[in-house]
Amino acid sequence: MSTAQIILAVILFGIAAALVIAGIRHLQCKGYCFNNAYIYASKDERETMYLRPYYKQSGIVLLMLACLFLLNGLRIVLKIKALMYISFVLIAVIIVYAVVSSIRIEKNK
């Protein structure tokens, strides 16, 4: 394994670790809410929003993204091509989850 691959794997594992921390904090409803509904809401809307579903959605997406970065880091280290295909499936799952959960949140308002 070359030096560039080692550096890239370390960076990917570091990003995965940061995403795990952010995801756990979101599931605890702590910190800034990284959700488009909250980010694009006006100041008045933010004050009246019930944030728990948005934190939960963002936390789950952040944890799934952490898995994605972990898979890509492992793919570089272990040189298993099948992990790339698993990553593609995980990307599709993340997108579908984000859309479906956004629809559910809006429906439950």
Give the C-alpha separation, 98 to 102, whole Å. 6
pLDDT tens, position by position, 35-72: 988 999 999 998 899 999 999 999 999 999 999 999 99
* Contact between residue 64 and residue 97 where contact means Cβ atoms under 8 Å apart: yes
* Degrees to nearest 5, angle at CA 18 with 96 and 70: 60
Is the pLDDT confidence value at 108 over 90? no
Helix (H), strand (E) at residue 81: none
Question: What percent of the chain stands above pLDDT 90?
Answer: 88
| pTM greater than 0.85 (yes/no) | yes
